[in-house]
Structure 1
Amino acid sequence: MPNILFDKHLPNLTGAEVKILLIIIRQTIGWIDKSTGNRKTRDRITQSQFRDKTGLAPRIISKTLKMLSEKDLIAITDQNNQSLKNSLDRKGKSILYYALNPVHFSTSTSAQSDTGPVHKSAYNKRNKENITKGNDLPIRQNNTGTVDEIIEKSKYQSLLRF
């Protein structure tokens, strides 16, 4: 998955745009073309496929595809790989191909990125320290008696420790 999608574009995308982008990513770079052995650069995706996979209404799908195209995040082409930039170009076309716009997504993906720690924290495996309980911790004892008696015993015992 292209890092730039998360780093730059995600904060500015609507939920519908994210869903449509994820479907295009899944249908393209999520598949390997059997004839070439490479990942697909574009795929034919129908309106009903978008509807079934996203749960969005057809009107929302059309509007979202238009917005993603205007933002240059996706490329929409015909069978001959001719760009169909605006909705008038696409009108009446029964076969449309969708792809991530390579201009915006040519950076490395998460699998190709830096292999350093994701974040610095005490729980990061590279920084993990084994913390063991020491003998300096009080041992729990079964005390019986009233709450006041237990508190008094506890105060007395704490005075005996150095």
Structure 2
Amino acid sequence: MDRSLFLVSGFSRGGTNLLWNLICSHPGVLSTGVELNQIFGPSHTNIPMYWKGAIESFAIPGFPVPKSIASYGGRRVLELAENHAEESWGRWKTSNDIYTKDEIVRLPVCTKSVNSWARDRIFGLLKRNVALKYNRLLLRSFGVVKTVYLIRDAEAVCNGW
């Protein structure tokens, strides 16, 4: 794909949401409105089971990602970004200006991937939700991917005066 992607990656409670919102507040960047966990992960949105299984299996490091899988993943991200830019809360570029159709199809997209603990729906146990594995999929599907890895100790306490 010819479009650029900004990918904010990190850990839960590490400041990724703040950085994601900062980047997406720029009028020259579209937001997906949802994280990669919500696009491809356990709470995926309308992905057929075939694609879900293929994405999960090729997200494992060491396995090459086929072009068809990468292409599908990239199209999903673009589709969500374009839909978000046409919705009432995502369509405002500035306070008095909305995105045009031309801008929606050419502007770079920003999304984020966050490793977090997710509660299992059946057993109620905490399990690791590793979203960074989807980065490989997007690296193959977009022409230019600008990745920011935000590493911060979420348990750290700020000491001040």
Same fold (TM over 0.5): no
More RCO (CA 8 Å, sep 6+): 2
Q: Larger % of strand: which?
A: 2
- TM-score, length-scaled by structure 1: 0.32
- TM-score, length-scaled by structure 2: 0.32
